[in-house]
Structure formats: structure tokens, C-alpha cells
Amino acid sequence: MEHKGFVLWFTGLPCCGKTTVADKVAEILKNKGMKVERLDGDIIRKSLTRDLGFSKEDRDKNIERVTFVAMMLSRNGVAVLPAFVSPYIAARENARNTTTNFIEVYVKCSVEECEKRDVKGMYKKAREGIIKDFTGVDDPYEDPPNPELILETDKETVDESVEKVMDYLNQRGFIPN
């Protein structure tokens, strides 16, 4: 099915629900016959950016590489759904200015709730000093000043968040009839 390419960029603290919502939205879009590509932080770091750590410079380079992939796909009519902490405004703005039809989705969730959801124990390790430069603990997360969408995943269900995203895409004509 032919449709406009776009980048639906999910950003937020670790364990806020980015991947959960993005996966469900991607599934719905694929079921509608759309060309969809999910880009996930954990998967990308095992391949395209495995040489990078978590310093600010490396995080910026990680997002720069993901932005390049998103740019190539979106300009060729693919719905691209990156889900990355992407903690810095400047890196996200670069993605906005580089890709086709960029939509920033701020997956907003309290640090306390993210910690409760953390099955890998990353927050605990960061608080114990085992993990350094962990976003939300000893490295900052810069809230998006003007995201197209805000999903408050500590106040709404996954289905409510997904519905907000789908409503936005429908209203803006990104989903063909």
C-alpha cells in the first residue's frame, strides 16, 4: 500500500513504555497494509551502534545513526517508529529537521513508576553506582518542549496511549483510507 512516509519518534525515560506502545502501533499499521519499520534501542545497540557506549557523545552518535536510517526509510514511504530514550533535545531536533514528517511522541512517566517497571534492575544498579550515566538517575533527560503527542503512561492504559497515537495519525492523514 502506498502512503506518506513519516517518523513517529517515541522518546522518554527508560522503562516508560516506549517500546510497548510503539510495538502495538506498528502492529496496527502493518495490519492496515502499511510499510512499517520499528527501530528499537536495544536491538540497534546490538548491531548498528554496538561500538558505542553511553557517554553524551556516544548517545548523540547513536541517535545520529538512527536518524540517518529513519531519514532513508521515511523519504521512501515507510512509517518509521523509533523508540529510544534519546535524552537530549538537540539530537531529537536534528532528527526532526532531517527526516520526513517527524512526529515526536513524549512517553511521559514518573521516574518512580519507571523504576517499578524495570524488570532488568537497571535503575537499582544505577543508584548503586554499578551503571554510570543512566538517564533519569545520574544523567539528565531533557523533556521535549513541544512534542506533537504526550502519552502519560503512568496515568493511562497502553490501549489509551495507542488510541491517542492512532487518532493523531488518522487526523493528520498519515493512514490511507
Report, as residue numbers or ranges, the catalytic residues: 86
Instruction: Report the C-alpha gap between 165 and 150 in whole angstroms.
Output: 9
Count CB-CB contacts under 10 A for residue 146. Answer: 6
Specify the long-range contacts of residues 72-78, CB closer than 8 Å, at least 24 apart. 73/5, 73/37, 74/5, 74/6, 74/7, 74/99, 74/100, 74/101, 75/5, 75/99, 75/100, 76/5, 77/2, 77/3, 77/4, 77/5, 77/35, 78/5, 78/35, 78/36, 78/37
Residues constituting the chain: 177
Using left for φ > 0, alpha for ψ between -120 and 50, and beta otherwise, residue 15 falls in: left
Q: Which three cell numbers stand for residue 172?
A: 493528520
Using DSSP, state whether 64 is helix, strand or coil.
helix
